[in-house]
Structure 1
């Protein structure tokens, strides 16, 4: 694993740096393999990034978009990660509908939906059960509590080791989420973190020793590149030694 940490002056600089990094990985992947696979994160921080992506002139038919996690709500719900990304970006560009791979949230049982998406992913990447495909880029955020995707502290989702997708849980509300081993198979993971409220969790995540079940973002150790992009408010007091 190659780990890089960058502290950017402010949120616009943070978004710009992330955009540059994604475009660099995108062009390299398409040149090498003929396609680019990207998993999106939810929350408010990446929205300007998606709006910036919508302004790019890209080979949309060679780009495939996934989500690292999803709240268990319909796509037209205000809390939907899919809905946000479609409004900010995907509805604005000529990307083929078949290249968009949202997490299904229409089954009565979220576990059934997780299994359905698992099968969709295995079919797309042509991998058998027990194997983990690697996305080109997985974009992640981090909560004030140290969670990432829908991998919340002290929840069962942190222990899923054999599946690509599992059910996360926040305050009794189900989510769908990529599992730790699936995220860690990525060629590149980019954390996009903004705000002073993230400082306490970041201190634990960057500490030599801390509890991974309490600070789940510590579990993200991809086989490829790991980028932590922080704005000044999040990263100013961080010890990177």
Structure 2
């Protein structure tokens, strides 16, 4: 069952979440030579990335990868890799290892098997997966209505190509299996509209309708929902 943490504003949420993620990474680094942090793109986590980059820990032993990536090169304004490099891999976090999704292939379908092998070679379980959620209930690039959604919820492969019906760009996404291969999940949401989607996801209905339900309904990995208006 997910645990909801409510904050008065994004500044308070960001400060609390940066401390929490840094604590998780430090705790795992005390026990493991290398740890993995998987993050989502978009506007919501940018303040968190900026705050997290100032946290004191042995960043050279942290590998940072993505929950999903739009199939665009890393110099494209829609690139999640570019967002992470700009806002997270700086200051104290500049020595962290980036594990990108983009490899230059023409389409993500040909890149997915190689990316799965790269991800499978990283230390598991990951220390932390930080997810966002769309107002349609998607997580990573597991979109309702996408032809690949059923595979994304069931495959044992770590990565798969996704072609959303509404969102721009073809994508590579972690599968549900890969998202759950972690010690901890944070779902970061903001605004009243997404709060309503989250509350609807707690009710009856299918994971195909609201893919976030696949995270909220499982009992194997703790999920903390961080929300601010």
TM-score of the two chains, using structure 1 as the length reference: 0.86
Q: Quick check: 1:146 aligned with 2:162?
A: no
Matches within 5 A, 1:1-80: 3-80=2-79
Aligned pair in 2 of structure 1 residues 143, 154: CA closer, same or farther (>3 Å)? same
Whole-Å separation in 2 of the counterparts to 1:89 and 1:104? 18
Post-superposition shift, 1:93?
A: 4.0
Matches within 5 A, 1:86-235: 86-93=85-92, 95-96=94-95, 99-125=97-123, 133-155=124-146, 156-160=148-152, 161-170=155-164, 171=166, 173-207=169-203, 209-220=204-215, 221=218, 223-231=220-228, 233=229
Taking structure 2 as the reference length, the TM-score comes to: 0.90
Task: Quote how far apart the aligned CAs of 1:36 are.
Answer: 2.3
Q: Distance in 1 between matches of 2:15 and 2:90?
A: 21
Quickly say closer, same or farther: Cα 1:63–1:146, change in 2 above 3 A: same
Shift of the 165–146 alpha-carbon distance from structure 1 to 2, 3 Å rule, reads same
Residues 43, 81 of structure 1: 8 Å contact kept: yes
Contact (CA 8 Å) 2:189, 2:195: kept in 1 or not?
no
Question: Greater CA deviation, 222-231 or 212-221?
Answer: 222-231
Determine helix, strand or coil for the equivalent of 2:122: helix
CA distance in 1, matches of 2:67, 2:88: 17
Question: Larger deviation: 102-111 or 37-46?
Answer: 102-111
- Supply the RMSD in Å over aligned alpha carbons: 1.8
Give the match for residue 128 of structure 1: none
Query: Where in structure 1 are there 5+ consecutive unaligned residues?
Result: 126-132, 234-241
Deviation at 1:173, TM superposition (A): 2.8
Contact 2:71 2:107 in 1 (8 A): no
